[in-house]
Structure 1
Amino acid sequence: MRIVEDLRAELGDRIVTEPQVLQAMRTDRSGWVGPGTPAVLVRAASVADVQAVMRLASVHRVPVVPRGAGTGLAGGAIGTEGAIVLDLSGMRRVLEVDVQNEVAVVEPGIVTDDLAAVLAEHELWWPPDPASRAISTVGGNIATNAGGLLCAKYGVTRESVLGLRVVLADGTLIGVGRRTVKGVAGYDLTALMVGSEGTLGVVVEATLKLRRISRDPVVTIGATFPDVIAAAAAAAAITASGLRPAALELMDAATCTAIDDLLQPSAEYPVLAGRGAFLLVRTDSAAAADEAALAARLIRHAGGEPEVSTDALTGERLMQVRRSAHPAYARLGEVLIEDVAVPRSALPAMFAATERIGASHGIPIPTIAHAGDGNLHPNLVVPPHLAGEPGHIPDVVWSAADELFHEAIALGGTLTGEHGVGILKRRWLADELGGDVFALSERLKAAFDPLNILNPGKVL
């Protein structure tokens, strides 16, 4: 292909065309496998590399799929037929840590945990805390506006990004946003870029808003419940009381069993199997003990049994239990990992709907939730007798997912709280947005990408 020849002439050994490498670009952590094979992989090492790719792609009108670690769960970075996969994972430098102003400037390929280690040396941290933080990149977090375990109190990625440098579809490099805490000059293009899944531009640098590491006490509660509806009611009561825990995480009975099978509980980890549900609460302010006491009272009132700990090691082990959910699900077989969000008061209704939908379709749906912000992750397990080729999701599973999505929307919620739309949810996006907003979104996309070469077929 002429585009491959031109890329090789300009970028040399950063161009990869080996078939086995290109095949690996057809999927991400969702397990979904795209129907086509990309033409080439470009391992970018600099902003200039990204600009060169976009200039040539624009000339040849070839689609470009920006990609980081490939840990997405909605197919947003899956390479498509004849496309250039633009791998940004090699751009992983921390360019600056401004301790005085609590700002860091980083490249998009840095892994979230690696950034945390660098910032900890300066007694700083970056709040976004996805469960995949050990493998996901900052650029991927920005692309999907990722949340995670701590976002109920500390916000999602958009709230911790001050500015970006972005390469547009024609190769133009722009800077949006600022380094100041406040600023309202012009449209907020930074917020627009965060969560756009590589469809409006390629993020090549991010200015991040940091926090000081607190010395306030931390209290962790692990609470068991007879059923998940009672646990969801407790979580809703905690947020309705005015408490804002740093973490408020809910695991249903099937999730508890799967995690136990993975971790093999010992003195280090609690036994969760056989419980109706498990609720994890963490408070981390000067009033942490009082906040935990109130949370424990609300848990008991809802029928739960709380165990309160001020021991840091115990607290971290409980957080690790929660982070183990997705590896535990992976052991169940083929799983469609979903992501809906509802108003926090609607959590019990959404859990009840999930149980009903799973039963009606004969599909196990173990579910976890960032209960502090109403974000649920129903995991639809493909029955073994229906499992086919990797990435193939049977119609009955999609039917169950369809009902879940419409139930979430009917409750005043959304198709996705943090995973993004990607390929997997684009067919439902218009149902949530409505015709006028969807059409406006298409015009916005065309303004940034008139040739439709930036991650086409994703989101819209």
Structure 2
Amino acid sequence: MAEALPEGRVLTAPESMDGYRHDDAEWAPYGQPLAVVRPRSTAEVRTLVRWCLEHRVPLVPRGAGTGLSGGANALDGSVVVSFEAMDRVLEIDAGERLAVVQPGVVNDDLRRACAEHGLWYPPDPASSPWSTIGGNVATNAGGMCCVKYGVTRDYVLGLEVVTGGGEIVRLGRRTAKGVAGYDLCSLLVGSEGTLGVITEVTVRLRARRPAERTVVGHFDSAVAAGEAVAAVAAAGVVPSALELVDRHCLAAVDAWKNMGLSAEADTVLLGRLDTPGAAGDAEAELMVDCFRGAGATWAAVSTDQQEADALFDARRLAYPALERLGPVLTEDVCVPRAKVPEMLARIDRTAAAHDLLIANIAHAGDGNLHPLIITPPGDDAARARAQRAFEAILDDALDLGGTVTGEHGVGLLKRRGMERELGPGVLALHHAVKTALDPHGILNPGKVVGVQGVTAEPVGETIAGPV
């Protein structure tokens, strides 16, 4: 392999590959790769795919490794392809409102580049300071503002892809409209590297949005905050963000960053609205009324922008702050907004039934909940209970008409839940698509639909603690 690629692209020393073996998914299994390859061009990726085809070696694409489902975890004897060196913004077309980027571009770096042209790339996962556009596309990432502006798939216009047969193809378009043929571009979004290796992404941009108003509400329980979320939806208010953060998250962030956050509430709702003018003022007051009607102990439109920004910063920092307490098993269920209160109540019951600390953060405005199951380091009994609680939460989400993953992807951790969600008929369609696009089974085998390729699933070591 090293002979087929330029010098410096291939890593084989075990110590140099350690940081590429897994993503941030707690306890998802991973193996020892044969090599890690860091290409700098699409041509090099094609060379690598063809080498893997010739030698029947599985290929595992990797972005920044911030995933939370094990989708980028290595298999024994696989090649991990890291896109860290393909990190250029190739084009920003202000007239057409689009950008063309390599997959290793960090989300926030693209947003900053767009801002210089008065433009905005909306998808904003909590990992946006570190996660890459390629990884975001692979999992169809969402974020705080997707309640109003949609997820990654809504912004991907076109892709350059190396297929499972080692060919370079372009999918999608650059035009505002286009319906020629099947929408294979959208099919690749969210496929977690199992249907093709993405080497370039063309994304739709928006004009820079107006300034946002922030509404803050304090609640005595997560369930009460969930009732407020349902009330906002019923009132027809479409916030640009509506985030739920409980006291465990706020306390963890405060202990880490000394931000002086309020600990007066069990759960805080953070709403933002970017409707301009008087209409925006009216929406903000209506959101306050919804919060109070659901039992908020305090609710108001924030007049302190610095404090409001600090609360949203705390929302982004919640996951790494909780990791400091011990291993965190992260959920990603999504339910209809009217079912958010019931889902939060079921999470509370699951925590009690399994004697676990489960913290809650959520993109509550679109029903996407992230229960965070925290276990003491080295406590194997708690770990076993956490894994049972994880599966119970998936089942509860499905029972309420939801899905097992809103934005993190299936990877390795949620295959059982996905199988229950989709059923045999739809799974058979997935298997047929996988076989058609990856006939030799080399692309991230064992992930998502669990179709095995040229080797077995990842085995051996597991992540013992926070990454």
TM-score over 0.5 for the alignment?
yes
- Secondary structure of 1:437's aligned partner: helix
Counterpart contact for 1:144–1:420, Cα < 8 Å: yes
Out of 54, 59, 72, the position equivalent to 2:54 is 59
Counterparts of 1:24 and 1:10 in 2: how far apart (Å)?
21
Report the more deviating stretch, 166-175 or 20-29.
20-29
Out of 402, 409, 432, the position equivalent to 1:420 is 409
Question: How many residues are aligned here?
Answer: 446
Q: Which runs of 5+ in 1 are unaligned?
A: 1-5
1:332 offset after TM fit, Å? 1.4
Counterparts of 1:43 and 1:337 in 2: how far apart (Å)?
29
The answer to whether residue 230 in structure 2 is matched with residue 236 in structure 1 is yes
Q: Which runs of 5+ in 2 are unaligned?
A: 450-467
Counterparts of 1:147 and 1:409 in 2: how far apart (Å)?
20
Which residue in 2 is equivalent to 1:291?
283
Counterparts of 1:457 and 1:312 in 2: how far apart (Å)?
47
Counterpart contact for 1:8–1:15, Cα < 8 Å: no
AA aligned opposite 1:192: L
1:28 offset after TM fit, Å? 1.2
Which residue in 1 is equivalent to 2:332?
339
> What percentage of aligned pairs have identical amino acids?
48
Out of 193, 215, 220, the position equivalent to 1:221 is 215
Which residue in 1 is equivalent to 2:126?
131
Counterpart contact for 2:242–2:270, Cα < 8 Å: yes
Paired residues for 1:31-42 under 5 Å: 31-32=26-27, 34-42=29-37
1:27 offset after TM fit, Å? 1.7
1:201 offset after TM fit, Å? 0.2
Which residue in 1 is equivalent to 2:458?
none
Paired residues for 1:213-362 under 5 Å: 213-214=208-209, 216-266=210-260, 270-271=261-262, 273-286=263-276, 287-304=279-296, 305-362=298-355
Counterpart contact for 1:357–1:404, Cα < 8 Å: yes
Which residue in 1 is equivalent to 2:206?
211
Counterpart contact for 2:22–2:30, Cα < 8 Å: no
- Secondary structure of 1:54's aligned partner: helix
Which TM-score applies when normalising by structure 2? 0.93
- Secondary structure of 1:235's aligned partner: helix
Counterparts of 1:35 and 1:175 in 2: how far apart (Å)?
31
Which TM-score applies when normalising by structure 1? 0.94
Counterparts of 1:93 and 1:182 in 2: how far apart (Å)?
26
| C-alpha RMSD of matched pairs (Å) | 1.5
Paired residues for 1:145-224 under 5 Å: 145-214=140-209, 216-224=210-218
- Secondary structure of 2:5's aligned partner: helix
Counterpart contact for 1:26–1:33, Cα < 8 Å: no
Report the more deviating stretch, 355-364 or 323-332.
323-332
Counterparts of 1:46 and 1:387 in 2: how far apart (Å)?
44
Counterpart contact for 2:30–2:74, Cα < 8 Å: no
Counterparts of 1:47 and 1:274 in 2: how far apart (Å)?
53
Q: Which has the higher contact order (CA 8 A, sep 6+)?
A: 2
Counterpart contact for 1:16–1:40, Cα < 8 Å: yes
Counterparts of 2:361 and 2:281 in 1: how far apart (Å)?
26
1:310 offset after TM fit, Å? 4.8
1:285 offset after TM fit, Å? 1.2
Counterparts of 2:64 and 2:127 in 1: how far apart (Å)?
10
Task: Flag as ranges the 4+ runs of structure 1 deviating above 4 A.
Answer: none
